[in-house]
Chain A
Amino acid sequence: MIGSSPENRPFTATRNACKLCTPLGAALVFKGIRGAVPLLHGSQGCATYIRRYLISHYREPIDIACSNFSEQTAIFGGGANLKIALDNIRRQYDPELIGVATTCLSETIGDDVPMFIREYRESCEGQDSPPVVHVATPSYQGTHMQGFHAALRALVGQLAEGGSPPGRHLNLFPGMVSPADLRHLGEICADFGLPAVLLPDYADTLDGPLWTEYQRIPEGGTPMAAVRSSGSARASLELGAVLAREKETAATFLQRTFQVPCHRLGLPVGIDATDRMFAALAEISGRPTPQKHLRERGRLIDSYADGHKYVMDARAVVFGEEDLVAGLAGFLAEIGVVPVVCASGGRSGHLAACIAERFPDHSQKGIQVLSDADFVAIEAAAREAQPDFLIGNSKGYSMARRLGKPLIRVGFPVHDRLGGARLLHLGYRGSQQLFDRIANTLMAAGQSASPVGYTYI
C-alpha cells in the first residue's frame, strides 16, 4: 500500500505527532545566518517551547526573541509590539539580520507584517539598521520542514542580488541536516575547489566550543554577503527528494529570477545518491571527484561487502521528516534492507512517489508509506510489519520500547542521547557510519538472542 491520504486517518486527533510546527524550522534557518537573531511574532510560549526543544537536541544556547503578545495585542494587532521588539533586539544584540517568523496567532489575526516592517524601516531612516526578513509560518500549514524551506525562500527572495558576470561559487541548500553533515558538505565542496555557500549553515552556531564570554550571537553562519550573492552563484544544489518535487523553493526562485542553474537531488545517503551528488559537483566545478572521496567510497563498498549478510532482507521502520525518510529508504534499498514502513508527519504528497521510484516492487515487498502520520499510526503499522529495527528520531523511542526493537537514532530531534548535532548522515562517510550502526545493531540483536552468546562473530 503506497500512500495514505489525510482523509484515511483513523483518528481525527493527532496522537503523538511525528512533526513540529512551522516557526521551529524558520527559527532554525535564521540560526544559520551569521549575525542573525530570529524573532517569533506571537505569544511568548512559542519562542520558549521552540527554544527548549532545540536546546534539548543541540545542547547550545538558542536565543529566539519574541514579540510577546498580550490580550490587547491580539485584539489591536501586533504592529506596535513588533516594532518594540525590533528595537530591543537591535539594542541588545546588535544583529546583522533579524528574521521575523509569524505564528498561528499573528497569522490568524491578520497582522500585515511586511507593512509593519516597512513602517519600521521608514522610522529608522538615517540609522544603521539591519535588514529584516519576514517569513509567513502559520503553524496550521505544514510542518517544521515547510517553515524551514519557507524561511530560505524568504531569505533569498528578499535579499538575493543578481550579478554579471556570475560568481564562481555554489549555493548549497542542504535541508535540515545536522551540523556534522553541514561540516562534511562544506569539506566536500572545498575538496572540489568549489567555494560553497551553505544556506543555512548552523554548523558552528549550534555546535561550538565553550566561550570565554557570552556570545550574544554565536560565531558562524552564512555571511549576509553570501546570502546576497546567492543570486549571482554559478549554480545551486538543493538536497532532498521530496523538496525536489516542490514547485517553488529557494533554488527554483534563484533560477527563475537570476538564472542560477539549479540541481535538485535527494539527500546523499548511500552510494547511488552520493554518487549523484559528486557527479553534480564534478560537473559544476569542472573537476573530477577527488581521490580522498573515491577512497572513502571504496571503503564504504568494502564495508558493504563485509556486512551484507547481517543486513540483507532485514526489515526496517523508517520515520521522520520526509526528505530524510526518502533518503534513508534509498540507502536501505541499496544494502538489501526493506523499509517495510516509511512514515512521516509531513504531507507534501510526494513521499509515496519518492519511495515508489526507489522500490518499483513495493507492493510485493509489502512496503507501506504513511504520510500525515502520527506515532500511534506508525506504531500500529510497525507492529503489523514486524521490523528488525527502527530508524528515525528519538521521539520513536517509546514505540521502539513497546515493540521491543532497537531504535537507531538519526535526524532531529535526538533528545535522549548526547551528540545529536554530531550525527553524520551524508556522503560516503555518513553512509559508512550509518551502515556500521545498522549492521552492528543487527549483530548485537543476534548475539543477544543467541543461546550461546558468541563472543567471536
Chain B
Amino acid sequence: MASIPILKEREKQIHRKGAQPFSLTCGQHSLAGVVSQRACVFCGSRVVLYPIADALHLIHGPVGCAAYTWDIRGALSSGPELHRLSFTTDLREKDVIFGGEKKLQRALTELIDAYQPRAAFVYSTCIVGIIGDDVAAVCRQVAREKGIPVLPVHSEGFKGTKKDGYKAACEALFQLVGQGQVDRIDPCSINILGEFNIGGEAWIIKSYYEKMGVAVVATMTGDGRVDAIRRSHGAALNVVQCSGAMTTLAEMMQERYGIPYIRASYFGLEDTSKALYDVAAHFAGNPEIMTRTQSLVREEISAITPELQQIKAAVSGKRAAIYVGGAFKAFSLIKALRYLGMDVVLVGSQTGNDADYQTLREMCDDGTIILDDANPLELSKYIIEKGADLFIGGVKERPIAYKMGIGFCDHNHERKIPLAGYEGMLHFAREVYRSVTSPVWRFAPTRAAAAKEVSP
C-alpha cells in the first residue's frame, strides 16, 4: 500500500503506538482538499436535537441540509414522530437576495399551526449566517404569537467543527431546562444525557435504572419530549453518555441548578455495569439501590454469557479497526472487542481531544494505529497494512471496508439495532460474528491472494 501517500500536514494526526513519545495533534480544522469523514456545525446540532420527537425541527436554508438529514437516523420515539419529518425553508435565489426572515416566519407559523409541536428548533445553515437573517428575532416573535418555545440553533456549517454544533444544540436545550414544574420528582432521580435512543437504546438503559429504583426525569435527547426536558432540572444527577455532545449542557445545569454529573457509557458489559454502579454509588444514602443493581448486573450478564462465549470462540484472534465520531465510544468498543477476544489494530475518531487520545494510547497494544480526523485513503491504507478482519464505523466507512473485502459493523446514529446495554452487547457480538465469519470473504481478491500465499 505504499502507493497511498500520507500528506505531510497529516502526519502529526497519525500515531503508531510504540517506542516514540506520544503527541497527536487534534481539535484542528480539517485540511482543505482532504476527504475528511467529518461533517459540519449543522450536523453536530442536528444529531443532538434530532430525537426530540414532539418538537418541530425546521432547517432554515436551501434544500440540501434538510434533504440529507430526512429520517436517516435510528432514533425511535414511543409517541409522536415529528422528528422523522424534514422541514426546510428551502431558500431560493430571491430569498437569498432579499433575506429569508419573512419566509422563515411564514414557514414557522404555518408549521406550528399544522403540527402543534411542543417547541420548535430553527437551525441556521451556512447561507443564513452569510445573509444575516435575524433568526433569533423571528423565533422570539413566533414564540410570543404561538405560545411555545421557538429556539434558534446557531448551527451555521462553517462556524467551527461538529463539536461547535453540539454546543449550539446544548445552548438551545438549556433554554428549555428550568421551565417546567419539578414537584413530585423522586429524590433518587437522574437525567440521561447524550443517549439518542438508536433502535430503542434509551428504553433499555431506562429500564435498568428503573429496576435499580432510580427514576429517570428526562432522556436527552433519545425519545425526547419537550416537557420532560423542561423539568429536567429537578433531577438529582446528570448521567452523560456521549460526552462530546452533551457535557456542555451538563456543565450548564451544574452551574445554574447545582446538579452534578458523571460520565457513562453503555457499550459493552464492563462499561454498562460501571455506569449502573456509579449511579447506584451516587445514591449511597439508599443502599437498596446498590443491592438491586448488583442483582440486576448479575442476572443480565449471566443471561447472555453462554451465547457470548460461543461467539467469542468463533471470533477470537480476529483483528478489528475502529473509526467513530467520538473517542469515548472508541474506549468502550475496545473493551467490548477485547471481551470477544479480538485485537484492535486501528482506532480513530473525528473529534477526539488530547485527553481522549492519551487514554486511547494507554488502552492500545503496541503497533496500533491511532488516527485523528482521518480520510478514506488513510483508513484503507492502515486497515490493509494491519490485516483487519473487521471495521467498525459509520456509513461513510462501510464501502471502504467492503471494497477491501473486510467485515463491517455500523456503529453510528444511522444503525437501527440497539447496541447499548447487556442486550445490546449481545446484538453487537452477533453482528460481529456474522460479519467476520461470513464465508463470502474468501472470494475477496485480498483474501484470495493471501490464501494462495499460504497454501503450497
B446 at interface by CB-CB < 8 Å: yes
Interface 9-residue window, one of A48-56, A302-310, A445-453: A48-56
Report chain B residues within 8 Å CB of A395. Answer: 70
> Which positions 116-160 of chain B face chain A at CB distance < 8 Å?
125-127, 129-131, 157-160
B295 at interface by CB-CB < 8 Å: no
Q: Is the CB of A17 within 8 A of B40?
A: no
Report chain A residues within 8 Å CB of B85. Answer: 15-16
How many angstroms from the CA of A89 to the CA of B159 in the assembled complex?
24
Count of residues in A whose CB is under 8 Å from the partner chain: 73
Report chain A residues within 8 Å CB of B37. Answer: 48
Q: Is the CB of A43 within 8 A of B157?
A: yes
> Which positions 39-69 of chain A face chain B at CB distance < 8 Å?
39, 42-53, 55-56, 59-69
CB distance from B76 to the nearest CB of A (A): 15
Report chain B residues within 8 Å CB of A370. Answer: none
Which residue of B is nearest A139, CB measured?
B62
Report chain B residues within 8 Å CB of A51. Answer: 35, 396
Report chain A residues within 8 Å CB of B114. Answer: 11
A143 at interface by CB-CB < 8 Å: yes
* 5 tightest A-B CB contacts, nearest first: A45-B40, A21-B64, A88-B33, A85-B33, A214-B380
Q: Mark B245-283, 1 if CB is under 8 A from A, else 0.
A: 000000000000000000000000000000000000000
CB distance from B129 to the nearest CB of A (A): 7
Taking A45-B39, A85-B33 as contacts, is the C-beta distance between A211 and B65 under 8 angstroms? no
A259 at interface by CB-CB < 8 Å: no
Interface 9-residue window, one of B102-110, B201-209, B335-343: B102-110
Q: Is the CB of B64 within 8 A of A210?
A: no
Report chain B residues within 8 Å CB of A71. Answer: 158-160
Q: Mark B376-406, 1 if CB is under 8 A from A, else 0.
A: 1100110010000000000110111011110
Interface 9-residue window, one of B3-11, B176-184, B187-195: B3-11
Q: Is the CB of B62 within 8 A of A140?
A: yes
B111 at interface by CB-CB < 8 Å: yes
Q: Is the CB of A108 within 8 A of B377?
A: no
Interface residues of A (CB under 8 A from B): 11-17, 19-21, 23-24, 39, 42-53, 55-56, 59-71, 73-74, 81-82, 84-89, 91-92, 103-105, 108-109, 138-141, 143, 209-216, 345, 395, 398
Q: Is the CB of A44 within 8 A of B5?
A: no
Taking A15-B85, A53-B68 as contacts, is the C-beta distance between A48 and B43 under 8 angstroms? yes
How many angstroms from the CA of A139 to the CA of B338 in the assembled complex?
46
Report chain A residues within 8 Å CB of B87. Answer: 13-15
Report chain B residues within 8 Å CB of A103. Answer: 126
A70: which of B29, B43, B399 is its contact (CB, 8 Å)?
B29
Report chain A residues within 8 Å CB of B62. Answer: 21, 104, 138-140
A sample of 18 cross-chain residue pairs with beta-carbon separation below 8 angstroms, ordered by A number, consists of A12-B89, A12-B103, A42-B126, A44-B38, A49-B69, A50-B68, A52-B396, A67-B33, A71-B158, A71-B159, A71-B160, A82-B32, A85-B32, A89-B33, A108-B127, A138-B96, A210-B446, A216-B3
Count of residues in B whose CB is under 8 Å from the partner chain: 80
B211 at interface by CB-CB < 8 Å: no
Q: Is the CB of A48 within 8 A of B36?
A: yes
Report chain B residues within 8 Å CB of A84. Answer: 31-33
Taking A11-B111, A48-B40, A210-B445 as contacts, is the C-beta distance between A61 and B403 under 8 angstroms? yes
How many angstroms from the CA of A70 to the CA of B36 in the assembled complex?
14
CB distance from A74 to the nearest CB of B (A): 5
Q: Is the CB of A104 within 8 A of B399?
A: no
Q: Is the CB of B449 within 8 A of A212?
A: yes
Taking A62-B399, A66-B35, A82-B32 as contacts, is the C-beta distance between A212 and B377 under 8 angstroms? no
A61: which of B58, B160, B376 is its contact (CB, 8 Å)?
B376
Report chain A residues within 8 Å CB of B61. Answer: 104
New A-B contacts (11) at CB < 8 Å, excluding given A88-B31, A91-B5, A140-B96: A11-B114, A13-B87, A15-B85, A45-B42, A48-B40, A63-B376, A68-B31, A74-B126, A84-B32, A88-B7, A214-B381
Report chain B residues within 8 Å CB of A212. Answer: 445-446, 449
A213: which of B1, B29, B159 is its contact (CB, 8 Å)?
B1
Report chain A residues within 8 Å CB of B363. Answer: none
Taking A13-B110, A84-B33, A88-B32 as contacts, is the C-beta distance between A44 and B399 under 8 angstroms? no
Taking A21-B62, A45-B40 as contacts, is the C-beta distance between A13 and B90 under 8 angstroms? yes
CB distance from B105 to the nearest CB of A (A): 9
Which residue of B is nearest A73, CB measured?
B158
B93 at interface by CB-CB < 8 Å: yes
How many angstroms from the CA of A211 to the CA of B449 in the assembled complex?
11
Which residue of B is nearest A108, CB measured?
B130
Report chain A residues within 8 Å CB of B111. Answer: 11, 13, 15
B25 at interface by CB-CB < 8 Å: no
CB distance from B149 to the nearest CB of A (A): 19
Report chain A residues within 8 Å CB of B380. Answer: 61, 214
How many angstroms from the CA of A56 to the CA of B410 in the assembled complex?
13
Report chain B residues within 8 Å CB of A44. Answer: 30, 36, 38-40, 157
B399: which of A16, A53, A55, A88 is its contact (CB, 8 Å)?
A55
B88 at interface by CB-CB < 8 Å: yes
B32: which of A23, A50, A81, A139 is its contact (CB, 8 Å)?
A81
Q: Is the CB of A92 within 8 A of B36?
A: no
Taking A48-B36, A104-B127 as contacts, is the C-beta distance between A139 and B63 under 8 angstroms? yes
How many angstroms from the CA of A91 to the CA of B40 in the assembled complex?
24
B403: which of A46, A50, A140, A214 is its contact (CB, 8 Å)?
A214
CB distance from B62 to the nearest CB of A (A): 4
Which residue of A is nearest B102, CB measured?
A12
Taking A17-B86, A108-B131, A139-B63 as contacts, is the C-beta distance between A210 and B444 under 8 angstroms? yes
B91 at interface by CB-CB < 8 Å: yes
Q: Is the CB of B40 within 8 A of A65?
A: no
B92 at interface by CB-CB < 8 Å: yes
How many angstroms from the CA of A123 to the CA of B96 in the assembled complex?
34
Which residue of A is nearest B381, CB measured?
A214
Which residue of A is nearest B446, CB measured?
A212
Q: Is the CB of A105 within 8 A of B158?
A: yes
Q: Is the CB of B63 within 8 A of A17?
A: yes
How many angstroms from the CA of A210 to the CA of B448 in the assembled complex?
12
Report chain B residues within 8 Å CB of A141. Answer: 92-93
How many angstroms from the CA of A105 to the CA of B125 in the assembled complex?
9
